Amino acid sequence: MQHGARESLGEDKETGPWELELDHNTSSCEDKETIHILAHIIALTSSNVIFTAAPPKRPGPDYELVPGLGHYKFHVTPLPWEEARLTCHREGAHLAIVNSETENGVLKRLFAKHPSVDPESPLNTQAYLGVNDILRQWTFRHQPPSGERPVLPGGYITIDQVGSYKWHLEQKSWDEAEATCQSEGGHLVVIDSEEEALYVLGLFPSQEGEVKGSHYGVRDNEQDGSFVTIYGNPLSETGYERWARGQPDDDNGAEFCIELIRNGEFNDEPCSKELPFICEILFHHDP
């Protein structure tokens, strides 16, 4: 989307830092405060409406022009997040991204223009946003501090309570990719939970043709079918193991590394295969 307003979040030069207020509620669980709208964004539930944003020059039907920002459309039909993203894409747009307090107000006004939405329903206070892009720009301010963080090389995206990540689109072998990550103080990404998987998969480029998969920080060092992480832990103990159908198949007896496919599944590949990759720097790690 081509915004007239600034395209990244954080500190406003005139008003200082701001936070999203989309009629959300907060709750505490094990001393961690959570914004409900975030929970619904990453849960990929099917009970959310959609905000769509389109470039000013090519809006689809039923888009409303907001001068200085762009065109917006409110979709009431509930869809899962991926289907919502594809709906926007077919209209030449993308899921809305909140880039300023002004744009936040626009989205609230769009909610108010649809009184037919049951005020007691989650549809009245929750909608999908372009989380793939939000994770590149914005950290929720209601999350507790995570303590001391390392000084990061350029290009890393930090997600509170999880870690920092960087895409390398230059294709390399597994060993070369891991060496690159280590030179930056990190390692090839290893997913430890379904929650982290949602964050990491959200970092894949939005156009499927750009990147289909990446190297993953797990390999079969003994070449006996026992995949372990770069820390030496069995893959089965990481909290996330999702092989694609028929995998691992060790085709030709030479597939000892793992490719993370953009749908979150694993495929075993030769370690010499050149792929893009994601480096990860954790705030802490307990192997």
pLDDT in tens, 23-64: 434 334 344 333 333 322 222 222 344 555 555 445 567 788
107 membership: H or E segment, kind and range: helix 101-112
Longest dimension (CA), the chain: 62
- pLDDT mean across residues, the chain: 69
Looking at the predicted structure, is the pLDDT value of residue 10 above 60? no
Model pLDDT, residue 176: 95
Model pLDDT, residue 59: 59
Q: In this structure, how many other beta carbons lie within 10 angstroms of the beta carbon of residue 148?
A: 7
Instruction: Please name the residues in contact with 39: beta carbons below 8 A apart, sequence gap of 6 or more.
Output: none
Strand duo 32-35 + 49-54: pairing:
unpaired
* Residue 14 DSSP symbol: T
Model pLDDT, residue 172: 96
CA atoms of 270 and 182, how far apart (whole Å): 21
81-85, 181-185, 193-197: least confidently modelled range: 81-85
Model pLDDT, residue 63: 81
| Distance between first and last Cα of the chain | 41
Model pLDDT, residue 220: 92
Domains and CATH numbers, the chain: 11-137 (no CATH), 157-281 (3.10.100.10)
Looking at the predicted structure, is the pLDDT value of residue 101 above 70? no
pLDDT in tens, 263-287: 999 999 999 999 999 999 876 544 4
CA atoms of 174 and 256, how far apart (whole Å): 10
Angle of helix 36-43 relative to helix 194-201, nearest 10 degrees, comes to: 80
Looking at the predicted structure, is the pLDDT value of residue 135 above 50? no
Share of the chain above pLDDT 70, in %: 56
CA atoms of 273 and 14, how far apart (whole Å): 49
Give the tokens for residue 225: 């079918």
Confidence of residue 100 (pLDDT cuts 50, 70, 90): low
pLDDT in tens, 145-181: 444 555 677 888 887 777 889 999 999 999 999 999 9
Q: Residue 4 corresponds to which amino acid?
A: G
CA atoms of 265 and 247, how far apart (whole Å): 9
Q: How far is CA 175 from the centre of its chain?
A: 26
Question: Smallest Cα–Cα separation from 138: which of 182, 100, 176?
Answer: 100
CA atoms of 191 and 151, how far apart (whole Å): 22
Model pLDDT, residue 150: 56
Mean pLDDT of all residues in 61-70? 78
CA atoms of 138 and 157, how far apart (whole Å): 9
Model pLDDT, residue 286: 42
CA atoms of 23 and 91, how far apart (whole Å): 28
Confidence of residue 244 (pLDDT cuts 50, 70, 90): very high
